[in-house]
Chain A
């Protein structure tokens, strides 16, 4: 995230916030969707993320990157929702809405890809949330260990061990579906 955007946001420049939203909406929504499993809830959380940034931008001290701050807010809101007693009784695996890749000319390849995507989404959704968020931030969103640690308020060593556990579980799950 460009530093000047942060300055413009802090200054209250009208188009700065719009630039932030349009630039990060898909990433924030994507993390929320894979964490929560339903589009409605993901949109609700994603909107809340941006509104919180909008309200609290004045408090942002710039110690971390603005993107890390965004992911941190997204992660906390998702984890809070998942921590509710009602959600603890569920496992998101059954609720994940899997988006199929855009159809292409090769129907067979599309079908296979769809099945693989479905299996992957289900495997990610079945991870415990504290592991799921780490693998999403690292392998889907590309954040560094340090950025993940900052976003989730964890030690880098904890990020590394949780990531390893998550990947190991995913590997074993996927190998059962796709030996």
Chain B
């Protein structure tokens, strides 16, 4: 037996795992080889050292943590775990779901007339009536950039431009209800409303009508049906220039223009019967889209047209 072969048997020798034949051959070699005897001693010291290695204790509380982890979760939690996918899958799915819901909400909003109308009405009485009137008097062509309906609209209840032009927005609404043509046909905007109310209060002779006017003037902003529409054009200025004559030709009232952010908003009254032709004509100007058609039974409708370029 060579020294190399003998030393290969040191491990089973130390572990008591030698066969009888191996033991005999190793003993015979060690009896004649001092080097291997010395090597065996060093080998045995190493094993003893390894076996004396410090033991490592588990951290305090380890057993309690294991027992707690092994405890079955409450059945609702287990049921939830079974129902819902793991986090790495769940989070992307939920993110995708949120995106889909958001997109759906936007699409629904864009296509839902009610939603858009509510948004158009979002700024209440101040939106339609007052601001347009006070800031950009729609009627008086002098201060408005929008073409004011020519006087040919006299067959309508819309009076010539003036302080009462803002009320033009409500005029159509009021006209049908008004039995006294002598009274200012259009209902004023907020300032005018107050003016009318004051007139009603101060004019006893007018009391029969003023209150009606005042009342009606108070009512219209909320009562007249408004129809939201959109017109996307290449040139907003061209569209605005074309709009007033068109509305006037169709028997509509004065066009009140105002800015709403980057959008130009035109409001005007229009006989419901003229709506289809208006839609056709506006469609020639650009991409026209109306949230809905005028309600049945209404004689006139207040159109809130958002012009974008």
Contacts and interface: CB of A to CB of B under 8 A. Distances in A.
Judge: A and B partners, yes or no: yes
Contact of B58 (A26, A116, A174): A26
B31 interface: no
A19 B196 CA distance: 93
B59 interface: yes
A48 to B, nearest CB: 9
A127 B12 CA distance: 20
Interface string B41-71: 0110011011101111111001101110110
A170 B66 contact: no
Given A25-B63, A160-B12, A171-B42, A120 B56 contact: no
Contact of A164 (B11, B51, B59, B63): B11
Contacts of A41: none
Interface in A87-108: 99, 101
A22 interface: yes
A43 interface: yes
A138 interface: yes
B10 interface: yes
Interface residues of B, number: 27
Contact of B70 (A43, A51, A160): A51
B15 interface: yes
Contacts of A51: 66, 69-70
Chain A interface category by residue count: 35 or more
A114 to B, nearest CB: 9
B62 A43 contact: yes
A29 B51 contact: no
A30 B62 CA distance: 13
Contacts of B219: none
A145 interface: yes
A54 B70 contact: yes
Given A139-B47, A160-B11, A101 B62 contact: no
B100 interface: no
A34 B54 CA distance: 11
Nearest to A18: B67
Contacts of B15: 138, 145, 163
Contacts of A25: 58, 62-63, 66
28 contacts: A21-B63, A21-B66, A25-B66, A26-B56, A28-B58, A29-B56, A29-B57, A29-B58, A29-B59, A29-B62, A30-B55, A30-B56, A42-B56, A47-B65, A47-B66, A116-B49, A117-B53, A120-B49, A120-B53, A124-B53, A135-B50, A145-B17, A160-B12, A160-B17, A163-B11, A164-B8, A167-B10, A167-B46
Interface of B: 8, 10-12, 15, 17, 42-43, 46-47, 49-51, 53-59, 62-63, 65-67, 69-70
Interface of A: 17-18, 21-22, 25-26, 28-30, 33-34, 39, 42-43, 46-47, 50-51, 54, 99, 101, 116-117, 120-121, 124, 135, 138-140, 145, 160, 163-164, 167, 170-171, 174-175
